[in-house]
Structure 1
């Protein structure tokens, strides 16, 4: 198969034009929808050879086939995207857009669209002045199909371009004019045009202001609120929001016009909150609309928006449980209830406080997943009410609080101290005995994160609340999540400088034997095995010579066997155990370290270590 593919790639450089054409068509037909063949041809360096064909002053048919093949390589495969970019494919496609042949132009545009749809296209090739001017001119092309594809390319480019690039695009007055004109079309360019405008008006106030210069801006955008596709309706709402937020907007078009636009947007946005495809953006647009217009707050309350939003807080559909979505719904409810007594009463009648708290926990969980956001969370104010939620009777509320606390305590010392000094710690431990697997797993996860890089005081508080006899059965729990987090707990607990001795006393010397016994009870899931090996590595690093001797004696052969494991993480962890067991830095007992070295040598470990110098993993080679 590879030899056959190599032959096809070699034919791309044939002196015969028909041979090159046949080869590029063959590659195109093979790689469409087939990632394995794409990878195979990428390894054979087919991409740069196909890109070379775009540089030729060839006939239109060869250029069309080459452009289509380049686009196919990039679409749906990050390796393909990188290969196309590295070969200069984007630049040559942009050059092809300036062709005098319309079929070549359309093929190049389609390829660019595929490239900028790729997952790796987070920082696409920047459009220079000439290419940008050409692309903008094609928005108004006499050929409707060319105009439609050019608009789709620009929309896709706007989706992955950064704010600086978008601001530069917005400076071209022809862009707003062409896109607004396309809104009146009845082809696919209409949806693409409003998508591009939504991004451009979000990045530039001047672009939003330019849109109002078009005589039919209001009619065009309001008509799109009835578009069949939710994404187009949302994009129209975003454009209208941005336009209405421009300075002096009411002075330019009148307060009545702005209110008319707002009233048209409101029912559309409320319906979009029930549409999975646009959940990440719709709540924020609704919140912005309500925030800027007291009249809209009243209109929303009159249309029973509070009831609709409250229902979304505890809906059972999985796609409605995303934290970012619930955060947006909560913000909208907060605005509606702030100055309207009827809305507050409506909300209290329809939503239990537990549901509101659970939704708030989901928001905290979402925010605390980012270290940047975590630094701005006021822990002193947040932790006491969060910990009190663990004492509430509602299972859903407890579970939501556990997941949020798990994020909060991972890397924040003040949050760790708050938990260790509260009744919430005891509540977490008690949840480990519940029949509810989800809460048990979340409780164990929160405890494991709590002792991660924690102070001795926090670790001691946890060991005082959670006995060895309670953790031991969890290491063999039938639920894989509970078992995994229990071993993570042990790994983190043994990671401190003097932790080995503390854990030894806590477990009455049973921790290491229990871990060794579990490791020898094969087969084990890889992630469990990694936890056990790093736990033993931590004991070997900070424990006594007796501890090291015990690990080497009981588990030496098993550890050596894991040097052959197919998983890179397992091999790396096993090397760390051996490294810490054979470390001779302890001048008080060099003979004992040497004895352990000899023990591993007798198992054939030294030969295996030499082989591992050629391991595919750099981490393994370094160890």
Structure 2
């Protein structure tokens, strides 16, 4: 029997591993034959898999060790052995050993469990293979063993499985499951503790589950682990993040535990030697901050937390990768924290990392997202990034092989293109920026397509002067094609971009968009099954007909197909947002010629022979102030006394009860509504009302 390389010592309820001295073999040069044999032994082979099924226990043990040693840290070999059917073979060894059909099976239990854990470690295909082989129940049974090594091996392997999203959902609301979970957390075995924490991290998703865990003392136990070994601390930090996530009640319990002792301990862990511990502690603090920023203000560590995360960016591998995502999450939609990040030179630090030519895709993505969030609100941040040489790296990222990086580059571009100053100057409407983004509109990845569309949606606002370039580059044609997509998110964002393109656009731009889109297609989009698409289609029409009298004619072409679609839509619109946009379209029509106004009156009063109230009356009584404002604007334009037919329209509106309703709104709580109502009533007085 080979000597064990470690020994286990029980101390204060935990296990500590101490490496033993290993005698070194004499240094000899291998012969060509030995090199060949070693190379052959390290290659995945069907023969090695076959030996896993040997009836000879020693052959099985050696085969298990050989497979395990080959696949540790080697994704390629893991996948090869999975294809060769190694996982079911290892699972079979485990099940036979558990069932007692093999004498002296302790080593087989340890090695087979460890091998299954190695397959599951960091590779979803390995996790799937372990689950498909039916190994999970056997691994769980190992936790009941009287042999600490067996328990350790089983717990480690199960932990590998539960670190994957493919792991089966563990129902913590079931009493027996909760009892088992608590037994893991209360175990003297650290790996059992870690397994329990991994199960919580994997399966605790709802507020009911978070509450149940707290009610069963799990929160208190996890807080105790914060002062335990490194394994316990890190397992606890991951689980605490899941239990507190978006749950104010649980977060409050944690923060107030022992008068802030738990929070103080968490803050202390941000200075630990272990980079992973520091990262996990920072992520927990971010979750607490997302629930209520006052907790971190109370501790005064908001700026320090940004500095900690920037320092963690220097760490290699997974830690450094995740630090950028944590920073991005921390400052997202928080203007005060974005300012703190800017003051802490976060933009400079992040851009320094962009200079690394060997930057891995995951970290590249995280840095781009962090930059996007820093620049999402403050012009000073955008200006700083735009004037740095590294901005070219963001543009280059649009061509990256990794879809996630391309999407992140689009998100970053969208964020910095919110700059009114640079939009006005046409900074973004140049071929070097726009053409790569237009190409991404047909990217194989839907995520990239959507991110590119949203970036285009910002860039095309561009305040009049440079929109002709976008049309020249074929942008309008592509957006219109995508507005007919089967995917509602693509339709939505395409229309959003077209709406922004036509904002304060000249007649040439509007004519181009309308001609290529066509009235029938626009009418169809107004009646789209998705309310959000309907809203953007109506907003596009609103922009198209804003301005000259000629542009109002768009709603009357093809037998007034667009106007009729709007009328039908307003009769049954499900959302206030759609109604608001629809009424602003009518307001623009009402600002047109007498023919336009009279056509609108016909639309408002059509099919009213049965005495049903006008929908505009219902809108004037809405609780939504925006809808009331838009509706009053329609009446303002219809009753403008400088127009010839205003008197007749006023009489008709008065007879329908509209003017009476407006009189009830003279003290409307919304100032905009109040002012427009008084304008209408003043105009009506011109006609003796």
CA distance in 1, matches of 2:354, 2:673: 51
Displacement of 1:81: 4.5
Equivalent of residue 189 in structure 1, options 440, 448, 467: 448
Shift in CA distance, 363/328, structure 1 to aligned 2, threshold 3 Å: farther
Shift in CA distance, 354/345, structure 1 to aligned 2, threshold 3 Å: closer
> Is the CA contact 2:538–2:585 (under 8 Å) kept in the aligned structure 1?
yes
Aligned twin of 2:368: 109
Equivalent of residue 233 in structure 1, options 479, 486, 494: 494
Equivalent of residue 276 in structure 2, options 21, 25, 46: 21
> Is the CA contact 1:67–1:107 (under 8 Å) kept in the aligned structure 2?
yes
Where does 1:16-165 land on structure 2 (aligned, <5 Å)? Answer: 16=273, 18=274, 20-29=275-284, 31-32=286-287, 35-36=290-291, 38-53=293-308, 54=310, 57-75=314-332, 77=334, 80-100=337-357, 101-102=359-360, 103-115=362-374, 125-126=382-383, 127-129=385-387, 130-158=389-417, 160-165=418-423
1:176 aligns with 2:431: no
> Is the CA contact 2:573–2:579 (under 8 Å) kept in the aligned structure 1?
no
> Is the CA contact 1:182–1:190 (under 8 Å) kept in the aligned structure 2?
yes
Shift in CA distance, 38/84, structure 1 to aligned 2, threshold 3 Å: farther
Displacement of 1:46: 3.5
Displacement of 1:369: 7.8
Displacement of 1:181: 1.0
Aligned twin of 1:200: 459
Shift in CA distance, 231/43, structure 1 to aligned 2, threshold 3 Å: farther
Alignment RMSD: 5.3
> Is the CA contact 1:225–1:236 (under 8 Å) kept in the aligned structure 2?
no
CA distance in 1, matches of 2:500, 2:623: 27
Aligned twin of 2:482: 223
Aligned twin of 1:301: 559
Q: Deviations over 1:120-170 (max 9, x none)?
A: 668753232324322122112233321122112222443x43253564532
CA distance in 1, matches of 2:506, 2:460: 10
CA distance in 2, matches of 1:408, 1:381: 23
- Return the TM-score normalized by structure 2: 0.47
Displacement of 1:196: 1.9
Shift in CA distance, 345/131, structure 1 to aligned 2, threshold 3 Å: same
Displacement of 1:182: 0.8
Aligned twin of 2:665: 403
Q: Deviations over 1:208-238 (max 9, x none)?
A: 3333444686256423432421422313533
CA distance in 2, matches of 1:410, 1:8: 51
Higher helix share: 1
CA distance in 2, matches of 1:350, 1:191: 41
1:9 aligns with 2:271: no
Shift in CA distance, 199/85, structure 1 to aligned 2, threshold 3 Å: same
Long gaps (5+) in structure 2: 1-254
CA distance in 2, matches of 1:332, 1:380: 13
CA distance in 2, matches of 1:410, 1:218: 39
> Is the CA contact 1:364–1:404 (under 8 Å) kept in the aligned structure 2?
no
Equivalent of residue 310 in structure 1, options 561, 567, 575: 567
SS of 2:488's partner is: coil
Equivalences, count = 405
CA distance in 1, matches of 2:340, 2:522: 46
Aligned twin of 1:287: 542
Displacement of 1:190: 1.4
Shift in CA distance, 323/363, structure 1 to aligned 2, threshold 3 Å: farther
1:262 aligns with 2:518: yes
Aligned twin of 1:326: 583
> Is the CA contact 2:571–2:615 (under 8 Å) kept in the aligned structure 1?
yes
Displacement of 1:59: 2.6
Displacement of 1:239: 6.6
- Return the TM-score normalized by structure 1: 0.51
> Is the CA contact 2:617–2:661 (under 8 Å) kept in the aligned structure 1?
no
Long gaps (5+) in structure 1: 428-623
> Is the CA contact 2:527–2:569 (under 8 Å) kept in the aligned structure 1?
no
